[in-house]
Structure 1
Amino acid sequence: MTLNETQIVVIAEFVAKDGEEQQLIDNLFALVEPTHQEGGCIRYELNQDLDRPQVITFIEKWHSRETLDQHIAKPYIQNFFNGAGPRKPKHTESFTVTFHREFLH
């Protein structure tokens, strides 16, 4: 079996401040449409944890690291992350973003 490197996958998990879940969802949802217009975007979906509704997660897939880097540099992404101070989005208690390579066989 040979593994072939394919796209870049991003998992971005945001934890809303108490009582601010809907505001965070609204802010995140505003990123969906412009991101879907980006040429390198394969998948960009917003999810809410069933057991912990304050946890909101993006599952993303990009053609390459280059197209992901172009996405990260977009003004609407930069504005989102700088919304409530340096690199902390508005209505967010905490967040983690991890980057992965997808392998298919």
Structure 2
Amino acid sequence: MSKLTIVANIIAKEDSIELVKAELLKLIDITRAEEGCLQYDLHQDNDNPAHFVFYENWVNRELWQNHMNAQHLKDYVEATSDAVETFTVNEMSIIG
């Protein structure tokens, strides 16, 4: 299977932007060290600070699924359960 690209959009509740940002930042180093992680970059929208995007590249879907089931992701979900407005994930393949 070819490389998997993930685009994850996280919209924080207006009163929880800094909490969500802090929790997202905690994920970066530990995730970059995971098997199969090729790229894991967090972005914050310049016009809407509540909008965060992870742009990720993984060796394959299986290793990304391992990431999604990791304890640090479970800890993030628990810490931000009442702080996130929306969370969407797009699994994508490079075509050009």
Same topology, TM > 0.5: yes
Equivalent position of 2:48 in the other structure: 52
Looking at structure 2, the residues matched to 38 and 103 of structure 1 have their Cα atoms a distance apart, in angstroms, of: 25
Specify the structure having the higher radius of gyration (Cα). 1
Any runs of at least 4 consecutive aligned residues in structure 1 with deviations exceeding 3 A, and if so which?
none
Q: Pairwise CA RMSD of aligned residues?
A: 1.6
Q: Give structure 1 stretches of 5+ with no counterpart.
A: none
TM-score by length of 2: 0.89
Contact 2:12–2:51 (CA under 8 A) maintained in structure 1:
yes
Structure 2 unaligned blocks of 5 or more: none
- The answer to whether structure 1 residue 94 and structure 2 residue 86 are counterparts is yes
More helix, by proportion: 2
CA distance in 2: counterparts of 1:90 and 1:97, whole angstroms? 19
State the TM-score, normalizing by the size of structure 1.
0.82
Equivalent pairs, count: 96
Partner SS state of residue 20, structure 1: helix
Equivalence map 1:1-105=2 (5 Å): 6-83=2-79, 89-104=81-96
Percent of residue pairs identical? 26
Give the Cα–Cα distance (whole angstroms) in 2 for the partners of residues 32 and 16 of structure 1.
18
